[in-house]
Structure 1
Amino acid sequence: MNDSHDAHEPEPQAQWFADEPAGSLGDQQPDNARFDGHDDGDQLDLEDRAALTRVPGMSTELQDESEVEYRQLRLERVVLISVWTHGSQADALNAMAELKALAETAGSQVLDGLIQRRSRPEAATYLGSGKVAELREVVLATGADTVIADGELTPAQLRNLEDQVKVKVVDRTALILDIFAQHARSLEGKAQVELAQLNYMKQRLRGWGESLSRQVGGRAAGGVGIGGRGPGETRIETDRRRINTRIAILRKRLRAMEATRQVQRGDRRRSRVPSVALVGYTNAGKSSLLNRLTGAGVLVEDALFATLDPTTRRCRTADGRVYTLTDTVGFVRHLPTDLVEAFRSTLEESVQADLLVHVVDGSDPDPQGQIDAVRGVLESIGAAGRPELLAVNKIDQAQPEVLAALRNAGDRVVLVSARSGDGLGELRAAIEDGLPSPQESIDVVIPWGRGDLVDRVHRNGQISVDEYVAEGTHLVAQVHPDLAGELRQFARA
């Protein structure tokens, strides 16, 4: 049915977005004297990523997509589509701008974008039938080879839309999975991405041609008789079985990797080392802050999902206590469920943290929307109740009225800029104040031969007196109960 005949839906409205050149990476790099003018440290990974260039005219990929069953996700010249079902027009524009950033991160050139106002997506083709015909005209006029939908399409919507626009259609989930596949570096990250991709693909297998989608019957029906009977399993069923086998293998590997991660977490808990996790929206500046605070030198790029593998560094408070600071994978609106499940072991760093530093991009058009999206993901993984410190980053690019509104977005809010260094001292102090404090007071003289205990008090306690006496080291401090029990035998008379 044509959209104009549907009395229950508002009149469809289309809005177009002209192509804009991607921002320069060089414009995003801050200055920092500690790293010879580059506050992100040695960027060897970034140089490797930028060193790969394409040679035009070298592809031998089949152009007739009906001849292949599995097609490489090739996002080069794309048209974006979205259905605006709720919220304001500004929300719809921000969502389309984010989809454009995702498409460019995946390596494509965005030609146009179309938003349709509907009460709900069309069940058959996502867009209404009239807009699908209009989309086909846009694809022909621009020479696009891919359409990207800002939503997770059902297998039927994906198939019907491809059949009508005659080019490849990719939904938001497949787009994000492709970005993750490009950026995964560690064995665990690659396994997590592959697991999510297989779970997504399993529900969307399709075959072109009868030989790929039908079993051969026992009689000579349809002109197929003796010699034409197969093993009783279609090609799609065979592929689905192989995918399930691969999924089982990947889950077994990830369980083994999770066991190693659990051992590391157990060691930190036994040592009473507090943990802090940097969480937040993708491209909010978490890696830049980690480099600023610790000099870690991890990869920093002005791109979505540049960080997939968590990085942990040891830090020390002003009074000498040791804690860990972990950079985690960024979140995004409507993060695919398969990705959350596949990355659950990595996201456990947030669940186990003593303090979450929630990094927000203060220059984003909708920072409150970022905050809500991140808190929604944290709630889904069981980290909603963790202590939270809100760090509003990129204040040198943010509007004053936006920063004023963000000051009331949480109980503890710090304004900071990883580029200029503004607010870093306040952020360090706020992190130290948010760490769990030792509960038990001690007044001990530790013998000279027990330097290991002195070191533990220095690393995990808050010391008020530290002096040398004839018998050993005199310490007055606040420590954790288990360490206090070990030191009780050296209590000062």
Structure 2
Amino acid sequence: MVHPELKGAQTRRLADHALAEAVSLADALPGLEVLGSEVVRLSRVHPGTLFGSGKVEELGARFKAAEVGLVLVDGIVSPIQQRNLEKEWGVKLLDRTSLILEIFADRARTREGVLQVELAALSYQRSRLVRAWTHLERQRGGFGFVGGPGETQKEADRRAIDDQVIRLKKQLERVVKTRELHRAARRKVPFPVVALVGYTNAGKSTLFNRMTGADVLAKDMLFATLDPTMRAIVLPSGRKIIASDTVGFISDLPTQLVAAFRATLEEVLEADLVLHVRDISHPESAEQAADVADILSSLGMDKAVPMFEVWNKLDLVDPGQHEALAVQAANREGVFPISALTGEGLPALLDTISAAFDEEKSERDLTLGFADGKRRAWLHQEGVVTSEEQGEEGWQIAVLWTARQEKRYREL
């Protein structure tokens, strides 16, 4: 594993921490064994080989001595650089984007998730026709970046890729329509939606399982969760909510995947409350939080949606720092230090979630025509109607509702 660090480049992360994350990414893909890792500092990027000739020769000798068959470069590698380095080193080379695509391909389980990953991979492949396109021939849940049949093919058929993209988009459209029907059905359910978001491996699934009693895969591993999971739960106060676990974010997420998973993350955009789960024990927790904020902003996250910050993994924090974290959290509104693993701090979080939906209600007088039977039925289903009179042209209805209910009514 090699992490290129360009001199003078402005980044949020320390190179050593970025390298450690990249190694964790590699460990998340079955069948890969990381034999070594290092930061390679560059004074400039060499267009043909990324690294200087001396470094290319030095690394090549070390790879040969260690009998390395696959080199991972934690960064962007152009098609020309990839081709030249593979030829020079006699190895297969994976850059950050292709590694993440491989992980997503291995983990996606829902039909929509699989289609979105395939579409993202094709978009990436199309721009790199000097590489082999083995998508249709893969033997496992990857895209041939790591290896497999067809890896000697040096140029993909652009027309075949375009035809495949068109086919996938049509399939995805059908899946999206089904998802929209499910979402429309959920809108009729008078329970607020609470979405869990955060950096990958922040402990979202562990918190989700603790809150819901579900058995979602929760591992100390990057991208353990890819497909969104929703569960109805009853809070200690008796209030019912729907909790949604989502895919974890990561710095420098490939643009193809941001676009591909936008539809999946629409669940977050429609949530009534967002829990931003942070691994407070991580040395770059603040930097991870900034990355999450950037991605939410790029997705069009409405700032009006309330958000709580959940400082998770207290069980991994030195006991001497607990009090300091408690003081910091107390001085910031909407921050909750917890351990999803042990349950520490969870009651206060759940009580606050419940209280957040004890919203102020306002009165409204509505006039509905007889053709608005759907809206009238929804109002009665929500239990917000205080009086109703039928006239010659429709109904005069008085309601007492929350701002959230009014917003959903306007969207009908």
TM-score range, shorter chain: 0.7 to 0.9
Residue aligning to 2:114? 190
Taking a change above 3 Å as real, the CA distance of residues 382 and 409 of structure 1, as seen in their structure-2 partners, is farther
Which of 286, 290, 307 is the equivalent residue of 1:372? Answer: 290
Structure 2 matches for 1:218-257, cutoff 5 A? 239-257=157-175
Structure 2 matches for 1:455-466, cutoff 5 A? 457=383
Residue aligning to 2:104? 180
Structure 2 matches for 1:81-120, cutoff 5 A? 81-85=3-7, 86=9, 91-107=14-30, 108-120=32-44
Structure 2 matches for 1:290-369, cutoff 5 A? 290-369=208-287
Residue aligning to 1:381? 299
Taking a change above 3 Å as real, the CA distance of residues 246 and 371 of structure 1, as seen in their structure-2 partners, is same
Which piece of structure 1 moves more, 313-322 or 343-352?
Answer: 313-322
State the identity %. Answer: 41
Shift of 1:137: 1.5
Which piece of structure 1 moves more, 311-320 or 372-381?
Answer: 311-320
Greater RCO between the two (CA within 8 Å, min separation 6)? 1
Structure 2 letter corresponding to 1:398: V
How many angstroms apart in 2 are the aligned matches of 1:101 and 1:395?
Answer: 21
How many angstroms apart in 2 are the aligned matches of 1:322 and 1:411?
Answer: 24
Structure 1 letter corresponding to 2:316: Q
Q: Is the 8 A contact 1:84 1:115 kept in 2?
A: no
Taking a change above 3 Å as real, the CA distance of residues 438 and 120 of structure 1, as seen in their structure-2 partners, is farther
Shift of 1:483: 8.5
Which of 413, 420, 441 is the equivalent residue of 2:335? Answer: 413
Shift of 1:121: 2.9
Shift of 1:93: 0.4
Residue aligning to 1:428? 350
Q: What 5-or-longer segments of structure 1 have no aligned partner?
A: 1-78, 209-234, 443-451, 462-476, 485-493
How many angstroms apart in 1 are the aligned matches of 2:24 and 2:228?
Answer: 23
Residue aligning to 2:45? 121
SS of residue in 1 equivalent to 2:109: coil
Shift of 1:438: 5.3
Deviations 1:174-226 (A, max 9, x none): 10111111111111111111111111111112279xxxxxxxxxxxxxxxxxx
How many angstroms apart in 1 are the aligned matches of 2:85 and 2:270?
Answer: 43
Shift of 1:345: 1.0
Residue aligning to 2:372? none
Residue 68 (structure 2) pairs with residue 144 (structure 1): yes
Shift of 1:145: 0.8
Q: Is the 8 A contact 2:72 2:94 kept in 1?
A: yes
Residue aligning to 2:85? 161
Shift of 1:169: 0.9
How many angstroms apart in 2 are the aligned matches of 1:249 and 1:428?
Answer: 44
Shift of 1:409: 9.9
SS of residue in 2 equivalent to 1:111: coil
Taking a change above 3 Å as real, the CA distance of residues 132 and 377 of structure 1, as seen in their structure-2 partners, is same
SS of residue in 2 equivalent to 1:109: coil
Structure 2 letter corresponding to 1:243: I
Length-normalised TM-score, structure 1: 0.66
Shift of 1:329: 0.4
Q: Is the 8 A contact 1:284 1:393 kept in 2?
A: yes
How many angstroms apart in 2 are the aligned matches of 1:374 and 1:89?
Answer: 13
Q: Is the 8 A contact 1:281 1:331 kept in 2?
A: yes
Shift of 1:373: 0.9
SS of residue in 1 equivalent to 2:76: coil
Taking a change above 3 Å as real, the CA distance of residues 126 and 373 of structure 1, as seen in their structure-2 partners, is same
Q: Which runs of 4+ in 1 moved over 6 A?
A: 235-238, 452-455, 481-484
Larger radius of gyration: 1
Taking a change above 3 Å as real, the CA distance of residues 236 and 148 of structure 1, as seen in their structure-2 partners, is closer
Q: Is the 8 A contact 1:180 1:193 kept in 2?
A: yes
Structure 2 letter corresponding to 1:124: G
Shift of 1:295: 0.5
Which of 380, 396, 418 is the equivalent residue of 2:315? Answer: 396
SS of residue in 1 equivalent to 2:275: strand
Taking a change above 3 Å as real, the CA distance of residues 238 and 207 of structure 1, as seen in their structure-2 partners, is closer
Structure 2 matches for 1:256-267, cutoff 5 A? 256-267=174-185
Q: Is the 8 A contact 2:198 2:204 kept in 1?
A: yes
How many angstroms apart in 1 are the aligned matches of 2:240 and 2:12?
Answer: 48
Residue aligning to 1:3? none
Shift of 1:406: 6.4
Shift of 1:237: 7.8
Deviations 1:363-415 (A, max 9, x none): 21210111011111111111152321110110110242883696389641101
Structure 2 letter corresponding to 1:197: A
Length-normalised TM-score, structure 2: 0.78
Which piece of structure 1 moves more, 147-156 or 108-117?
Answer: 108-117
Taking a change above 3 Å as real, the CA distance of residues 290 and 207 of structure 1, as seen in their structure-2 partners, is closer
Taking a change above 3 Å as real, the CA distance of residues 88 and 189 of structure 1, as seen in their structure-2 partners, is closer
Structure 2 matches for 1:205-224, cutoff 5 A? 205-206=129-130
Q: Is the 8 A contact 1:83 1:120 kept in 2?
A: no
Q: Is the 8 A contact 1:105 1:304 kept in 2?
A: yes
How many angstroms apart in 2 are the aligned matches of 1:88 and 1:481?
Answer: 40
How many angstroms apart in 1 are the aligned matches of 2:12 and 2:191?
Answer: 47
How many angstroms apart in 1 are the aligned matches of 2:330 and 2:182?
Answer: 37
Equivalent residue pairs, number? 354
Residue 359 (structure 2) pairs with residue 437 (structure 1): yes
SS of residue in 2 equivalent to 1:344: coil
Q: Is the 8 A contact 1:375 1:384 kept in 2?
A: no
How many angstroms apart in 1 are the aligned matches of 2:131 and 2:12?
Answer: 39
Q: What do you get for the CA RMSD once the two structures are aligned? A: 3.1
Which piece of structure 1 moves more, 260-269 or 416-425?
Answer: 260-269
Shift of 1:315: 2.2
Deviations 1:247-296 (A, max 9, x none): 11112222222222222222333444321110001111111111100101
